[in-house]
Amino acid sequence: MSAAPAPEPPQLLGIQEAATLLGVTMRTLRFYEDKGLIAPQRVGTTRIYSRREVGRMQLILRGKRLGFSIREIKEFLDLYDVDPEHHEQVRALKSKVGERIADLRKQKRAIDQTLEELLSIERQALAWLEGSPLRPVDD
């Protein structure tokens, strides 16, 4: 027995519904709108989010989780709009992902080195404490 597919979001959502669906605040949605990454429709002063805007926000949030800057995310989204075949977008994404992987590997090496050094200091301190006799407190 297979699991039922996730329900499709409604065609149009208000800002509160979009924020809830995406797990973000309304302020977050307004922030990305101010940065030009999403452009919800307007009905008077009410923002209306289409599936396209929700999808773009999902890509933005994923990009942020992966450590990409807002500028880099905007470049990916802009390429998506002008390249219907998505060749340029995928090439740019592959390049940026490779750079991010290299950066993370470098950070991991630095963290591993720092962790080893701290563990060594901890072992030395413990050995010193276990090996040092109790000293009387000066009167």
Tens of pLDDT, residue by residue, the chain (139 residues): 555 565 555 688 999 999 999 999 999 999 999 999 999 999 888 899 999 999 999 999 999 999 999 999 998 888 877 777 778 878 888 998 999 999 999 999 999 999 999 999 999 999 888 886 655 555 5
| Same domain? 59 vs 89 | no
CA 68 to chain centre: 7
Whose CA is closest to 48, among 6, 14, 98? 14
The residue to which tokens 């605040």 are assigned: 25
- pLDDT (0 to 100) of residue 70: 93
Q: Which of 51, 46, 92 is nearest to 38 (CA)?
A: 51
Give pTM, 2 decimals: 0.68
53 lies in which domain range? 10-68
> CB under 8 Å to 116, separation ≥6 — which residues?
none
Look up the CATH number of the domain holding residue 61.
Answer: 1.10.1660.10
Q: Please check whether residue 38 lies inside any domain of the structure.
A: yes
Residue 63 to residue 85: CA distance in whole angstroms: 21
